[in-house]
Structure 1
Amino acid sequence: MSDIRPVLLVIGLFVAALGATMLIPVLVDWAAEGDAARADMLAFLASSVICMTLGAGMAAGAWGRVETITTRQGFLITTASWVTLVIAAALPLALGEGRLSVTDAFFEAMSGLTTTGSTVVTGLDTRPPGFLIWRSMLQWIGGIGVIIMAIAILPFLSVGGMQLFRLESSDKSDKVLPGADDLAASIFTLYVSMTAACFFLYWLFGMSAFDAVNHAMTTVATGGYSTKDSSFAYFVSAGVARGPIDVVAVVFMILGSLPFGLYILALRGKASAIFSDSQVKFFLSAAVVFTAIIAFRIISTLGYDVSGGIRTAAFNIVSIMTGTGYASANYNAWGPFALGFFFCVMFVGGCAGSTSCGLKIFRLQVAFSAVSVYIQKLSHPHRVTVARYNGRAIDESVFRSVLIFFFIYFTIFATVAVALSLFQLDPVTALSAAGTAIANVGPGLGDVVGPAGNFATLPAGAKWILSAAMLLGRLELFTVLVLFVPSFWVR
C-alpha cells in the first residue's frame, strides 16, 4: 500500500471518538449508587483516556487533507477500523466491575459493534447502568456504521453485488464519492430521529426511561442487546405484552431493516420510492408469510389464542429475520418444525442499506432471477431473456458477484460449524451458533445458545471463531477476505 496515511488518520479519529463516547457511561455510573457503579465508572474513565490519547496521537501523526480514498484503501480502512474499534470497546468491559476475560470482552464488543447480539454476560438485571448503556451504545454505533458502509462505501468496492446501489451509476472510477460526508450527515440525522421516536414510544407504553433508551438504541440498530437476562420476555407475559410494547418493537425492527437511502429520498419528496422498491415489497411480503406460518403452528398446536399467537409469532419472526435477536418466548419449546423454520429464517436478513444483516433480500432476488433465466434458456435456447431488478437489467458482473457471495457465505458457515464441533458441541449448538454468527442474528437454537441460553459456557476457542465469523458476516465477507490475497498488497 503506497499511502497508508489516510488509513491511520481515519482509524485514529474513530478510536478517539469512541474514547470520547465512553464518557457517557462514566456519567451514568456517576449518577448511580453503589460500589459496583463506582468501580465501573473508573474503568470507563481510564479506558476513555487511553483511547482518546492513542487515537489522537495516531491521527496527529497522519494528519493532512484526504481528497479521496481509493478502493484499496477503502478495503483496508473498513476492516482495520472495525477490528481496532472492537479492541478499544472491549477495554472497559475487561477493566470494569464485571472483570470479563480478554476473550469474553472481545466477544461481547464484537457482538455489539457488529449488531449480532450474542452475549456471554449473565446477571444483566443487576449490572451497573454504565455497563448496560455501553453495550447498547456499541450496537447503536455499529448500526449507523453499517448503514454508512453499505450506502457510501461497499457499492464502490463492488462487494457481493452491492454495486447495484451506487449513488451515481455513471461513475466508473475506483474512488469513493467525495459527497459521502453529506450523505452520512443525512443518515445520522434520520437515525437519531428514529431512535428518539422509538424511545418515546417505549417510555410512553410502560418501559422505564433507562430501559427505553437502551432498547431504542438496540431496536433501531437491529442489535438485540437487552438490559434483562430474559430479553424482551421480561416485558411480555404469556404472549400478552404490557401494552403495545411488542408492536412498537416490531415496527422499529422493520424500519431499521429497510433501506435508509429510500428514507432520504422520501424526505426529499419521493415518498413513492419506498413502496415501489421491489426489495422492500419482497421483504415485507416474506415477513407476513413467515409470521402466518408460525402463528398458525403455535395457535393450532400450542394453545395460543389468535391475538397472542399472531403477536408472538410476528415479534419473534421479525426479530430473527432482521437479525435483531430479541426473544419474547422460548421458541425452543415450539417443536422441531419451528426450530428448523427459525434456522432457515435467520439467514434471510433485511434490505441492503439498512442496519440489518444476513444474506440480504436483494441477493435472494438476484439469485431467483438467475435461476429463472437459466430455466427459461433451457426450455427456449434461442430466446433472449434479460433478468431485471427494480426495472433495471442486471449486469453479468452482478450475477457473478452475488452467486459467488452465496457460495463463499455457505462455505464459511459450514467451515465454522465443523470447527465448532471440534469443541465437542452438539450438532444443534454448532450449526445454530455458526449460523447466528455469520448472519449476525444473536441467539441460536438449543439449550446452550438458544433464546433461553447464553454463549458464556462455550470454550474460549469457540468464542474466537465466532468472533471472526461475526466480523466476516457484518463486513460482507469479501471486504475481509481480500486482505488475505497476496496480490492485494502488490501495487
Structure 2
Amino acid sequence: MLSLDVRPIFYVIGALLSVIAVAMVAPMIADLAAGHDDWRVFAVSSALTLFFGVLLLLTNRAERIALSLRQTFVLTTFAWIAVCAFAALPFTFSESRLSYTDAYFEAMSGLTTTGASTYATVQTLPPGMLLWRSLLVWLGGIGIVGMGIVVLPFLRVGGMQLFRSESSDKSDKVVPRAADMALGFGWAYLALTITCIIMLRMAGMPMFDAINHAMTALGTGGFSTKDASVGHFANPAAEWIIALFMFLGSLPFVRFIALIKGDARSLWRDSQIRTYTIFTVTVAVLLALYLKASGQMALHEALRHSFFNCISIITTTGFASVDYLSWGPGPIALFFILTLVGGCTGSTSGGIKMFRFEILWLALRMQANRLFSPNRVIPLTYNGKPVDNDVIISVMSFTFLYIALILIFAVLLALTGLDYTSAISAAAASLGNIGPALAPAIGPVGNYAILHDFAVWVMSAGMLLGRLELFTVLVLFSPSFWRR
C-alpha cells in the first residue's frame, strides 16, 4: 500500500477552515446590526471553526507545499467535505434548528453553487443567515473557478487537460504560478460582484437584497432572500441585470483576465464561448416565440422571462422569475435538456460543460467521415490545439458516467417515495448543481424540505460529485489508486 503524506493535505484544509471562520464574521455583524440574537451562533461557529483550522495549520506546518497527483486527488475531495461540515454549523445552531443532515445539505448546496434549499421558507430568516447562504455561494464560486483553472486540468479529469496552463513545469506537481492566476481571477470576480451590486441598486432593489443576489448571480448559486426567488421583486430591470451576470459567471474567468490586460477579442476567440452564446440565445428566442404563439404572454414579456429562466437553467444558477412549470410539458422537457448543458469550463457553473459537447461533436464528425473514407487522416483541433485520443476518450467516459449517475441517483431518490419526474429531475439538478427540480413541490417555487433524510444525503453526494467532475471523487474508490 502507498504511504501517503497527509500533512500538506491537512495544512491546506486548515487554511480553508480559517477562511470560512473569518467569513462568518460578516453575518455575525449583520445580525448584530439588526439586533438579532443569532449573532451568537456565528460567533460560536466561527470560534470552533477557527480553532480546528489553526490546529491543523500548526500541527502540519511545512516549509513548502507541493502536492503530488495522489495528494491533490485526496485534497480536492476531502477539502470540500470538511469545509461543508463546518460551514453547516450556523444552520444547525441557529434558532431555525435545521437537523445536521439538512444543515450539511444547505452548506453543500451553497459551496457547490447549487442553490437547493431545505428551508421551507427563507423570508423569515434573520439577515445574518441569509447573508451566510449567499456568502457560501460566493466563496464556493471562487473555489470552483480556481479548481477549474488550476487543479482539474492538472488532474486530467474529463478532458480538462485541454485547459492545462501553458507552463514549462511539466512535473507531477501543481504549478507555482497558480497563486498568480488565482489572484487575477479573484480581482475580476470581486470587480464583477461590486458592479452587479451597484447596477441592482440603481434598478431599485434594496441594498441588502442587491448584495445577496449579486453574490449568488455571479456565483451561479441561485440562493435568494425571497421564497418566490427573483420573481418576488417584479422588477424587469433587475431581472435583465441578474440574467447578464449569471451569464458572465458561466464564462471562463481566464478570458476576463485577458480582457483586463487589453485583449478585447479573447472572449469571442474562444470556441466554447461562441458556441455557448449562440446556443443560449437561440434556445431563449425560440422559447419566447413559443410562449407568444401559445398566447401565454406578450412578446416583450416572453423574451424577458425566457431569457432569464433559460440562462438560469443553462448556467445552473436556479433563480426563477416565474413558475415556469406552468408553461406546459414542452418547455419542461426543454428545461430538463438544458439542465445537462452547463456553462463553460473555468466558470462557476456546473453541468456537462459546453466544451465537452464540442469535443463529442468533433468525434462524431470524425467517425462519420471515416465511414466513407477509412484511410483518410483527419486531425482534430480545438481552439487551435490538437485533440488527441486521450482527451476524446476522457470526454466520452465523463459524459457516459454523468448520464449513468443521473439514472442511478434517480432510482435511489425514487426509493424514498418520490415520483419519477421528481426523482430524475432532482437527480439531474443535484449532479448538475442547478438547484430547483422540475416538479411542483421541489421546483422553482418549492424547496427540498419535504425530502427524506436518505434522499438529502443522496443529493448532497450528487452535488459533490457533480462539482468535482465525477472522477475526482470516484478515483478514490479504486484500489489501484492506493497501490504503489
TM-score of the pair, normalised by structure 2: 0.98
Q: In the aligned structure 2, how far is the partner of 1:250 from the partner of 1:24?
A: 26
**Match for 2:229 among 224, 228, 231?**
231
For 1:328-339, list aligned pairs within 5 A.
328-339=321-332
Report whether the alignment pairs 1:286 with 2:279: yes
**Match for 1:390 among 383, 408, 414?**
383
* C-alpha contact (below 8 Å) 1:187/1:260 kept by paired residues: yes
Q: Which runs of 5+ in 2 are unaligned?
A: none
| Number of the residue aligned with 1:244 | 237
Report whether the alignment pairs 1:413 with 2:411: no
* Bigger shift: residues 456-465 or 61-70: 61-70
**Matching residue's letter, 1:109:** A
Give 1:390 shift: 1.2
Q: In the aligned structure 2, how far is the partner of 1:199 from the partner of 1:76?
A: 37
| Number of the residue aligned with 1:346 | 339
* C-alpha contact (below 8 Å) 1:219/1:249 kept by paired residues: yes
For 1:75-474, list aligned pairs within 5 A.
75-168=73-166, 171-236=169-234, 242-474=235-467
**Matching residue's letter, 1:256:** G
**Matching residue's letter, 1:26:** M
Give 1:69 shift: 1.4
Give 1:2 shift: 2.9
* Number of equivalenced pairs: 482
- Say if 1:305 and 1:111 are closer, same or farther in 2 by CA, change over 3 A: same
Give 1:169 shift: 6.2
**Matched-pair identity in %:** 44
Q: In the aligned structure 1, how far is the partner of 2:462 from the partner of 2:294?
A: 36
| Number of the residue aligned with 1:16 | 18
**Residue deviations 1:413-472 (CA, integer Å, cap 9, x gap):** 110001111112111100100000000001011112111211100111001000000000
* C-alpha contact (below 8 Å) 1:156/1:163 kept by paired residues: yes
* C-alpha contact (below 8 Å) 2:236/2:304 kept by paired residues: no
**Residue deviations 1:272-305 (CA, integer Å, cap 9, x gap):** 1111111100010010111012101111114311
Q: In the aligned structure 2, how far is the partner of 1:6 from the partner of 1:157?
A: 17
* C-alpha contact (below 8 Å) 2:229/2:445 kept by paired residues: no
**Match for 2:54 among 38, 47, 56?**
56
**Is the partner of 2:88 in helix, strand or coil?**
helix
**Matching residue's letter, 1:266:** L
Q: In the aligned structure 1, how far is the partner of 2:49 from the partner of 2:385?
A: 46
| Number of the residue aligned with 2:6 | 4
What is the RMSD computed on CA atoms of the aligned residues? 1.1
Q: In the aligned structure 1, how far is the partner of 2:331 from the partner of 2:412?
A: 26
**Residue deviations 1:369-426 (CA, integer Å, cap 9, x gap):** 1111000001111111122211222111100110000111111111000111111211
**Residue deviations 1:82-109 (CA, integer Å, cap 9, x gap):** 0001000001100012100111101111
Give 1:269 shift: 2.3
Q: In the aligned structure 2, how far is the partner of 1:298 from the partner of 1:463?
A: 34
**Matching residue's letter, 1:329:** V
* Bigger shift: residues 265-274 or 343-352: 265-274
**Is the partner of 1:455 in helix, strand or coil?**
coil
Q: In the aligned structure 1, how far is the partner of 2:271 from the partner of 2:169?
A: 24
Q: In the aligned structure 1, how far is the partner of 2:120 from the partner of 2:213?
A: 17
Q: In the aligned structure 2, how far is the partner of 1:366 from the partner of 1:171?
A: 26
Give 1:243 shift: 4.6
**Is the partner of 1:126 in helix, strand or coil?**
coil
**Residue deviations 1:162-202 (CA, integer Å, cap 9, x gap):** 00001116653221101111111111111111000000001
Q: In the aligned structure 2, how far is the partner of 1:76 from the partner of 1:151?
A: 18
TM-score of the pair, normalised by structure 1: 0.97
**Matching residue's letter, 2:27:** P
- Say if 1:169 and 1:405 are closer, same or farther in 2 by CA, change over 3 A: farther
**Is the partner of 1:303 in helix, strand or coil?**
coil
**Matching residue's letter, 1:27:** I
Q: Which runs of 5+ in 1 are unaligned?
A: 237-241
**Residue deviations 1:133-189 (CA, integer Å, cap 9, x gap):** 000000000001000000011101101100000111665322110111111111111
**Matching residue's letter, 1:18:** I
What stretches of structure 1 move > 2 A for 4+ residues in a row?
Answer: 169-173
* C-alpha contact (below 8 Å) 1:332/1:339 kept by paired residues: yes
For 1:64-79, list aligned pairs within 5 A.
64-79=62-77
Q: In the aligned structure 1, how far is the partner of 2:323 from the partner of 2:236?
A: 20
| Number of the residue aligned with 1:46 | 44
Give 1:266 shift: 1.7
* Bigger shift: residues 90-99 or 59-68: 59-68
* C-alpha contact (below 8 Å) 1:115/1:221 kept by paired residues: yes
* C-alpha contact (below 8 Å) 1:429/1:446 kept by paired residues: yes
* C-alpha contact (below 8 Å) 2:305/2:321 kept by paired residues: yes
**Matching residue's letter, 1:131:** M
| Number of the residue aligned with 1:239 | none
**Is the partner of 1:124 in helix, strand or coil?**
coil
Q: In the aligned structure 2, how far is the partner of 1:446 from the partner of 1:159?
A: 32
